[in-house]
Amino acid sequence: MKKKKALITGYRGQDGAYLSRFLLGKGYEVYGADRAGDSGQWRLRELGIERKVKEIALDLLEPTNIIDALEKIKPDEIYNFAAQSFVLVSFSQPVLTAEVNAVGVARLLEALRKAAPKARFFQASTAELFGSTGSAQKNETTDFYPKSPYAVSKLYAHWLTVNYRQAQHMYACNGILFNHESPLRGEEFVTRKIAASAARISKGLQQKVAVGNLDALRDWGYAKEYVEGMWLMLQQPRPDDYILATGETHSVREWIEASFAAAGIKLEWKGKGLAEKGRDARTGKVRVEVSKDFYRPADVKELVGDAAKARKVLGWAPRTRFRDLPALMVQAELARLEGKKVNL
Ligand code: GDP
């Protein structure tokens, strides 16, 4: 049988790297496009797939090279992870964020319609779309109320994907992904930042870490499992949109406590707001402090998703939950510091 071909944009990011490994394991020929130069190469190296993905020049800002790439590869599946993916950065770079995350998807879908209309398309949509729609569990019918330039840009991409499915009859799906983390996360995200800091602090390599809003509540799952759900979305008889989430929500403060505990440090909290501090309960040393540098002009208070549709239709369910995830990430950081192989 002919090998299936997949094209992954943003393949050196967390999800792109995990999905590359997953698809290679399924016998796909995997093509990757990434603007980030070599800065994400470490992920492919750690996953042991460094020379297995075929790199292709494709930039979401440039329509012609998207069409060229599609005509050359003729992919069966396209997964779009290329994005300006940091919520905080989007407040200072709203136009760039829109160019890549919103109009970039228009360029990609339009190129697909022309050059590969039968290809199946996955858009990395996001729980950030729900923004301030309250604390109830979100499902595929919940309204959106984006609260950052990032979320607004992703809202355009989300609806455009739906529109190409309906109006152009293309196989296009949105995965509405709640926060999904792993040892391959960038250190800009709070989970990995904390896991890496807790590990370094436990080894005496760092004194403390500064963070922002401790009260934000998030639904954190394991990215390695989420890429399986994305692939399943493209294997169905009909295209549709699906939420991937764990259904549990925990605060940033809880994530910090669990991560430090996994590194052997029990934390005690004192103070309020910017004056709040987390101290090592044994030594009294300040290990966590709050800085306004990490606060957002508007933050999403609480996110929790209901993945019942994905469970029912795709047979997908998260296996790793909050109970295990901070420890898994701290173990990986300790292994890195000790020069050992990281479990990914
Ligand atoms: P996001 O949900 O995609 O924005 O993922 P992040 O990991 O960047 O942020 C998750 C939540 O943690 C947000 O509510 C942030 O405001 C909060 N947070 C608190 N401190 C920090 C920090 O130091 N860095 C980041 N990135 N987020 C923080």
Flag whether pLDDT at 190 surpasses 90.
Answer: yes
β-pairing, 5-9 vs 77-80, is parallel
Contact in structure between 292 and 274 (CB atoms under 8 Å): yes
Query: pLDDT value at position 1?
Result: 76
Query: pLDDT value at position 15?
Result: 98
Chain centroid offset of residue 69 CA: 25
Smallest CA separation from ligand 1 atom 27, residue? 190
How far is the centre of ligand 1, averaged over its atoms, from the C-alpha of 38 (Å)? 25
Q: How far apart are CA 219 and CA 76, in angstroms?
A: 32
pLDDT in tens, 96-145: 999 999 999 999 999 999 999 999 999 999 999 999 877 789 999 999 99
How far is the centre of ligand 1, averaged over its atoms, from the C-alpha of 156 (Å)? 22
Cβ atoms within 10 Å, residue 276: 16
Nearest atom, ligand 1, residue 181 CA = 7
Long-range contacts: 59-68, Cβ < 8 Å, 24+? 59/33, 59/35, 60/9, 60/100, 60/104, 60/105, 60/107, 60/108, 61/99, 61/100, 61/104, 61/107, 62/107, 63/107, 63/110, 63/111, 66/107, 66/108, 66/111, 67/111, 67/114, 67/115
pLDDT in tens, 30-40: 999 998 777 89
How far is the centre of ligand 1, averaged over its atoms, from the C-alpha of 191 (Å)? 8
Which amino acid, 240?
D
Nearest atom, ligand 1, residue 301 CA = 14
Across the chain, mean pLDDT equals: 96
Domain spans, the chain: 5-182+222-248+302-320, 190-216+251-300+329-337
For the chain, give the percent of residues with pLDDT over 90: 96
Flag whether pLDDT at 249 surpasses 80.
Answer: yes
pLDDT in tens, 65-76: 999 999 999 999
Q: Which residues are catalytic?
A: 126, 128, 150
Q: Do domains 5-182+222-248+302-320 and 190-216+251-300+329-337 have the same CATH topology?
A: no
Contact in structure between 329 and 179 (CB atoms under 8 Å): no
Query: pLDDT value at position 69?
Result: 95
Contact in structure between 39 and 104 (CB atoms under 8 Å): no
How far is the centre of ligand 1, averaged over its atoms, from the C-alpha of 118 (Å)? 38
Place of tokens 């196989």: 171
How far is the centre of ligand 1, averaged over its atoms, from the C-alpha of 109 (Å)? 30
251's enclosing H/E stretch is strand 250-251
Smallest CA separation from ligand 1 atom 8, residue? 189
pLDDT in tens, 270-285: 999 999 999 999 999 9
Q: Which residues line ligand 1 (CB under 6 A)?
A: 87, 179, 188-191, 193, 211-213, 216, 218, 252, 294, 296, 299
Contacts of 68 (CB under 8 A, 6+ apart): none
What are the phi and psi torsion angles at 170 (to 5°)? Answer: -90, 155
Smallest CA separation from ligand 1 atom 11, residue? 216
By most ligand atoms within 8 Å of CB, the mutation choice from 88, 190, 193 for ligand 1 is: 190
By most ligand atoms within 8 Å of CB, the mutation choice from 252, 254, 256, 295 for ligand 1 is: 252
What are the structure tokens assigned to 40, written together?
């994400």
How far is the centre of ligand 1, averaged over its atoms, from the C-alpha of 14 (Å)? 16
Cβ atoms within 10 Å, residue 311: 15
Smallest CA separation from ligand 1 atom 20, residue? 212
For the chain, give the percent of residues with pLDDT over 70: 100
What are the structure tokens assigned to 279, written together?
């101290």
Question: Per CATH, which fold does 190-216+251-300+329-337 belong to?
Answer: UDP-galactose 4-epimerase; domain 1 (3.90.25)
Smallest CA separation from ligand 1 atom 24, residue? 190
Q: How far apart are CA 133 and CA 168, in angstroms?
A: 30
Query: pLDDT value at position 134?
Result: 78
DSSP helix/strand/coil, 214: coil
- Nearest residue to 58 (alpha-carbon basis) of 74, 42, 69, 73: 69
Q: How far apart are CA 67 and CA 58, in angstroms?
A: 9
How far is the centre of ligand 1, averaged over its atoms, from the C-alpha of 32 (Å)? 28
Alpha helices by DSSP H, listed for the chain, are: 14-25, 41-47, 63-73, 87-92, 94-98, 104-115, 149-167, 190-202, 223-233, 252-262, 308-309, 325-337
Question: Per CATH, which fold does 5-182+222-248+302-320 belong to?
Answer: Rossmann fold (3.40.50)
Nearest atom, ligand 1, residue 216 CA = 14
Smallest CA separation from ligand 1 atom 10, residue? 190
By most ligand atoms within 8 Å of CB, the mutation choice from 15, 85, 87 for ligand 1 is: 87
pLDDT in tens, 201-239: 999 999 999 999 999 999 999 999 999 999 999 999 999
Smallest CA separation from ligand 1 atom 6, residue? 189
Flag whether pLDDT at 174 surpasses 80.
Answer: yes
Cα distances from 42 to residues 31, 45, 184, 198, in angstroms, run 17, 5, 9, 21
Q: How far apart are CA 98 and CA 109, in angstroms?
A: 15
pLDDT in tens, 294-312: 999 999 999 999 999 999 9
CA-CA-CA-CA dihedral for 232, 142, 135, 188, to nearest 10? 50
